[in-house]
Amino acid sequence: MKRIWGRVCLAVGLTMSMLVSSAAAESGQTYRSYTEQSLIKQDGTFWTWGSMQPVPVQIHGMDDVVTVHDGGLIQLTDGTVHYTGRLQAGQPVEPVALPQFDHLKQAMADYSQLFIVDADGGLTIVPLDSSGVTLEALQNSQPVPALEDVKKVSHYQEWDGNRTYQTIIALKEDGTLWRGYKTENGTSSFTRIPNLDGAVDLQRNVARLSNGELRTWPIREGTDSPVISTKVPINRSIAWLGTHRMANLAVDVDGRLWFWGNTVTGYSDGTEWHAQSSPIRFSALSDVREAYVVERMIFALTKQGELYATSLNRQSMPADASFDLMAKDVRSVQAGSRHLMMERQDGTLWGWGVNKSAELGVGDFTFMYDKPVPLLKPVSVVLNGQSVPLTGGALLHDGQAFIPLRSVFERLGATLTWDVLAKETLITGAANGEAAPVQIRIGFTTGEVTIQDKPVLLPSKPFIIGSVSYVPLRLVSESLGATVHWSSEARAVQITYPGKTN
C-alpha cells in the first residue's frame, strides 16, 4: 500500500509542481515560495539570510527545491525529502535522501524536538541537540506506535508539580483529536479526546470544526485528568484560525476578525499578562483574510491586499481598537515570532520587525524596523558559466555590484592579505610572464583604492557590513584580467576569465 501511495504522491507531486510553477509565472511571482528567513527562486535555487547574515545568499548543492521545512529538511518538486544539515554561506551542502519522509505533510520544530507527519499519517518525534537535528537522529527515528492517519499535530507545555510535560495533540484525517505527551522517559500512548469530532484544523489547544465552530480546552496542570473541550463563544462560522502563546485570532466567513487570549504590558522581570477570555470582534476591520501575532502586534491581511496592525501592548483589548495601514498590494505574509516577511503584488519581498541578527535581510543590523523595508534582491555571481558559492550575499550599491572580499578573487588566482589594525586589504594578482603582478590596495576606513600604487577614484567606496568586507567587483575583477557583465534579467554578475581559476 505504501508503494502505491508513493507512486500516487509522485505523480501528484510532479503535476502540482508544474502547475505551481506555471501559475507563479503567469501571476508575476518572483519566487516559488518563501519563509520569514529564506526564499526559493523560480529556478529552484535556495537563498537564506539572518543569523548574522544580512544579505540574501545562495546555498549551493540545493536545486529544484519547492519547500523548506524545519529541521534542515527540503522538499523537491518531485516530493522527495532530503536533509541538508546546518546551512552555512559559502559551503555547498550535500543533501541526503530520506525516503521515509517523502511527500511529508508537516515538519515542525521547537526548542527540543522535531515533529514530522509523514505521507502515510505516521508521527515521528526526533530529538534535537545543541546544534539542531542530526542526520543520525533522523535515520534512527521511528514513528510513534499505534498512531495512524495523522493530518497535523500541535504541542504545548503542561506542568505537574515540578515536572514539565510536552503535550501533543494529533488531528487525524477522520476529524478526531488524540492526546499524548512526552517526557524524559519517552512518548505516552495516545488517547482520543471525547466528544470532539469533525475537526478540520488544529492550532495549539483550539480546533476548528467542519461546521465552522471552534472548540478549546484548558492548558492545565497535570496530565491525568481528561480533556474537556468547550465551545469558543463566537456565533459566526469561522473560516480561518491562528493561535500564538499570547493570543488567539479567528476570521469568520464574513471576513470579520475576532480576538481572545492575552494582552501584555511591561518588559523583562516587569512583564505582566492580562487575560481576556471572552472573544471580541474588531469593529475597525472588514474583509479580513488572515491575521498574525508578531512582536506584541496583531497584523491583519485583507482580501484587498491591505495589511493593518494594532498593538497588544495594553492592559485590555477594546473592540474598537484602531489599526494602522502598514502596506498595500500584499499578496501573502509569512510570520515569525518577532518579524514577518510579506510578498507584494510586484513580486518583491518586504520585512517588518526585529532585525538585530539581520532577520530582515536588508543589509544591516538595525535592531527594529517599525515600517516595512524591502529585502535586498538576491544576486548571483557566475564565473566562466559556473555559479560561485559566496561567504556572504552579493548586492547592488549605487549601481555597482559588491561582493564579499574572498569569494571570487582567490578563484581568479589572486592572493589576499588583510591588515586587521588598518582595516586594509592587499589583493595581488597571479603572475603573468615577466609583467609585475597587479596589486590592488583597498582601505575600508579611508575608502581609498590604489592599483599599482596609483589612486583610483570610485563612485562608491568599499564598506563593511558586520564582519564581511565588500569590494566593487568590476574594478577588482577587470584589474585582474577578467571581464564583467551584469544580467538584469537573471540578476546575475557574469564574469569571464581567460586564465586559470581555482
Domain map of the chain by residue range? 380-496
| pTM, rounded to two decimals | 0.88
Q: Does domain 380-496 have CATH number 3.30.457.10?
A: yes
pLDDT band at 94 (very low <50, low <70, confident <90, very high): confident
Please give the single-letter amino acid code of residue 484. V
For 330-368, letters b (16+ CB in 10 Å) and e give bbbbbbbebbbbbbbeeeebbbbbbbebbbbbbbeeeee
The mean pLDDT value for 418-432 works out to: 87
Please give the single-letter amino acid code of residue 96. V
443-452: long-range contacts (C-beta < 8 A, 24 or more apart)? 444/469, 449/475, 451/479
Distance CA 192, CA 196 (A): 9
DSSP H or E run through 271 = none
Judge contact between 180 and 187, C-beta under 8 A: yes
Judge contact between 342 and 319, C-beta under 8 A: no
What is the pLDDT at residue 18?
35
Q: Which residue from 174, 232, 226, 182 is spatially nearest to 203, judged by alpha carbons?
A: 232
Q: With a cut of 80, say whether residue 381 has pLDDT above it.
A: yes
Q: With a cut of 80, say whether residue 171 has pLDDT above it.
A: yes
pLDDT band at 56 (very low <50, low <70, confident <90, very high): very high
Helix (H, G, I), strand (E, B), or coil: what is residue 431? coil
What is the pLDDT at residue 10?
32
Q: Which residue from 491, 465, 461 is spatially nearest to 475, judged by alpha carbons?
A: 461
Supply the mean pLDDT for the chain. Answer: 88
Q: Give the residue, 254 or 63, on which the prediction is more confident.
A: 254
Q: With a cut of 50, say whether residue 405 has pLDDT above it.
A: yes
The mean pLDDT value for 474-486 works out to: 86
Q: Give the residue, 248 or 23, on which the prediction is more confident.
A: 248
Judge contact between 96 and 115, C-beta under 8 A: no
Please give the single-letter amino acid code of residue 322. S
Minimum mean pLDDT range among 25-34, 264-273, 322-331, 377-386: 25-34
Q: With a cut of 50, say whether residue 436 has pLDDT above it.
A: yes
What is the pLDDT at residue 218?
87
What is the pLDDT at residue 90?
65
What is the pLDDT at residue 432?
64
pLDDT band at 26 (very low <50, low <70, confident <90, very high): very low
Please give the single-letter amino acid code of residue 332. S
Q: Give the residue, 164 or 216, on which the prediction is more confident.
A: 216
pLDDT band at 224 (very low <50, low <70, confident <90, very high): low
Angle at CA of residue 51, ends 81 and 141, nearest 5°: 35
* Other CB atoms within 10 A of residue 25 CB: 10
What is the pLDDT at residue 468?
86
Minimum mean pLDDT range among 25-29, 133-137, 272-276, 430-434: 25-29
End-to-end CA gap in the chain: 50
Please give the single-letter amino acid code of residue 189. S
pLDDT band at 47 (very low <50, low <70, confident <90, very high): very high
